[in-house]
A and B are shown apart, each in its own frame.
Chain A
């Protein structure tokens, strides 16, 4: 089956511009070249590296992996003249629950990613790059491997890129099952053949990244935006979005929605427009209860909080995050205690155990929220969850601790009454017939 949704009139397709109708096969190199592919790297090769970084800065492109850091600024931190080799790493770990966009980019337009990486590599004078792809995505690893092979054969990669004398090699690198390896420094450890325990920052990857050399590390979607920025200019890209949030982004609609799928929208499009117009509204004619706007780590928004522009700054102002662009829709029947328990089970499972506030905190959040879900908790549990979360915030070694604490706090603060209601109703004590508890992961 195709994973490409038919375009909706409100979409603005830049990254997905080759897909005005659904298809099953990726765009291989001949089609890519026929449709303007690899023109941006030709142009970039004629530019000074500083100019490339300048265009990306002008575009107001911000990282699509979760943190939303300005990409041009990140690239400018690399010392191009360092005697050490410089590297590029693509984060294709795609592990944030709700997120399923990088697979679309790799699965249908693999050369766009390669071209974006080439431009980034040129900007910092890198000699090698890796695409770190989660292990479950073997299908996409195979597609990227084939596309890399094609690009090598046509001289876009290798010891003399397009006859310019510049050497750049690229390969895929498979993960093997770990959400934490999506965190940039844990990923770099994993790339070196170790457990994915994160590194202390600073130094940041720009000074000491892959194999202790200067490195730029970005999400798949971030790199995929770069070719059009170079071709059409940073100002053009910027103008598609809002002042500090340039361009378009992919939104992954899932949950209780009529038309789930991956769509491309300008930054700043109203969240309700995305859900109701592009996604066709809440499924089964039901009412909206809440939205998780940027992946499982982003604090939940109540229905009445959703009438806002979906960009980095507006969502931060609303106390949440645009995160990875994963928008999970929850209808009026959703049991919020269950949502909380499932998310905490996830974070407890994925905590790498390196630091105590996260290892212990996520375990207790899971235990307490599971008991609440089963209807055997006490009223005090809500306050305990809130307190544990507050003690984790900002005190863990890497952001995974925050990623667990933020949604936990939001759910107990916004839906505490509802969870208490459920606790009080006697029926909640009796498990539904025919169900057995899920085995502990």
Chain B
């Protein structure tokens, strides 16, 4: 399996960032960047990264079960992550999450039938002073309201 030239260049550099013989250090970053390109950690991704880093499949499965951002199942094209932790909860994060369920017609960790959106209730995103906060893939959205959420979803739908 090969990745895009940009990702291959990144990987080549990444592996050199760890001490000789300890290239396993690159495992989690490589998995995450590969997932961003491929859409999920597929069997092929596991095999390829395992081969490059000389890490067994079991060691990779162990890691996959631990880190919440890594996924074996493809998420929606727009993965919506809404924080309901303390600062967001105090400023409407839970209401925002319920609103998102209704707007998208899906529940936590579900995906719309057309594969466009998936939704996840998440822990603190480190954006507490601009709460309630959410992310669409890696893009942050701050001081959200149900109205701003609807506008955002409608504009993402138009992008299709």
Contacts and interface: CB of A to CB of B under 8 A. Distances in A.
B128 A326 contact: yes
Contact of B17 (A97, A100, A173, A439): A173
Contacts of A177: 67-70
Contacts of B72: none
A176 B70 contact: yes
A342 B123 contact: no
B25 interface: yes
Bin the interface of chain B by size. Answer: 35 or more
B125 A255 contact: no
A176 B60 CA distance: 13
B112 interface: no
Contacts of B17: 130, 169, 171, 173
A293 B34 CA distance: 39
Contacts of A260: 128-131
A218 to B, nearest CB: 18
Interface in B1-32: 14, 17-19, 22, 24-29, 31-32
A127 to B, nearest CB: 9
Contacts of A139: 138-140
Contact of B28 (A100, A193, A292, A346): A193
B87 A328 contact: yes
B67 A178 contact: yes
A22 to B, nearest CB: 13
Interface residues of A, number: 65
Interface string B138-156: 1110100000000000000
Contacts of A128: 19
Nearest to A170: B17
Contacts of A253: 129
B138 to A, nearest CB: 4
B86 A192 contact: no
The 9 closest A-B pairs by CB, nearest first: A193-B27, A177-B68, A177-B69, A439-B108, A176-B67, A254-B87, A193-B24, A97-B124, A138-B138
26 contacts: A1-B142, A85-B19, A95-B126, A99-B124, A99-B126, A100-B126, A100-B130, A103-B126, A138-B138, A176-B68, A177-B67, A192-B22, A194-B24, A195-B65, A196-B66, A213-B19, A252-B129, A254-B90, A255-B87, A255-B91, A256-B91, A262-B129, A338-B89, A350-B123, A441-B121, A441-B123
Given A136-B126, A193-B53, A438-B97, 11 more contacts: A134-B126, A136-B81, A136-B125, A137-B126, A178-B67, A191-B25, A193-B25, A193-B26, A193-B63, A253-B129, A342-B89
